Chains A and B, each alone.
Chain A
Amino acid sequence: MSTERLTQLDDRALGAALHELDLAWPTPPDMVDSVLVAIKLGPVPRPRRSPRVRFVLVAAAAILALALAASAARLIIDLGAVRIEPIPSTSVSLPPSTVPIARLGEAVSLAEARAAVDFAVDVPPALGEPDRVWLVKGTTSFEPPEEGLIVALAWRPRLGLPRIAGTPYGATLLIFQGETDVAVKLIGAPIHQIAGQLAYWVSAPHELDLLVGGHVRTFRVTGNVVLWKDGPLVLRLETSLPRAVAIAIAFG
Chain B
Amino acid sequence: MEDAALVERARDGDAAAFGELVLRYRELAGRVAQIVAPGADIDDVVQEALLKAWYAFPRFHAGAPFRPWLCKIVANEAKNRARSARRRDALALRVAAASEDAVPSPEAAALARDEAEALVEAMNQLHSDDRLVIAYRWLLDLRESEMAEALDIPPGTVKSRLSRAMTKLRTQLAVTDGGEP
Binding site for B on A (CB under 8 A): 1-7, 11, 14-19, 21-32, 34-36, 38-40, 43, 76, 78, 83, 85, 140-142, 180-181, 184, 209, 211, 215-216, 218
**Sample of 8 more A-B contacts, CB < 8 Å, known A5-B115, A35-B19:** A2-B118, A21-B95, A26-B34, A29-B26, A76-B154, A83-B154, A211-B163, A218-B167
Q: Which residue of A lies closest to B121 (CB)?
A: A3
Bound together, the chains give a CA A112 to CA B122 distance in angstroms of 45
CB of A7 within 8 A of CB of B170, answer yes
Please report whether the interface of chain A is mostly helix, strand, loop or mixed according to DSSP: mixed
A residues near B164, Cβ cutoff 8 Å: 209, 216, 218
Binding site for A on B (CB under 8 A): 15-16, 18-19, 22-23, 26-27, 30-31, 34, 42-43, 46-47, 50-51, 54-55, 93-97, 99, 111, 114-116, 118-120, 122-123, 134, 137-139, 144, 154, 156-160, 162-164, 166-167, 169-170, 173-174, 176-177
Bound together, the chains give a CA A27 to CA B27 distance in angstroms of 8
CB of A19 within 8 A of CB of B50, answer no
CB of A29 within 8 A of CB of B43, answer yes
Closest 10 A/B residue pairs (Cβ): A216-B163, A3-B177, A184-B160, A28-B27, A18-B138, A29-B43, A24-B94, A15-B138, A2-B115, A22-B96
CB of B54 within 8 A of CB of A78, answer no
Known A11-B163, A23-B94, A31-B22; contact A18-B119, beta-carbon cutoff 8 A? yes
B residues near A180, Cβ cutoff 8 Å: 156
CB of B93 within 8 A of CB of A23, answer yes
CB of B120 within 8 A of CB of A23, answer yes
Bound together, the chains give a CA A17 to CA B42 distance in angstroms of 26
Bound together, the chains give a CA A184 to CA B19 distance in angstroms of 42
Q: Which residue of B lies closest to A44 (CB)?
A: B51
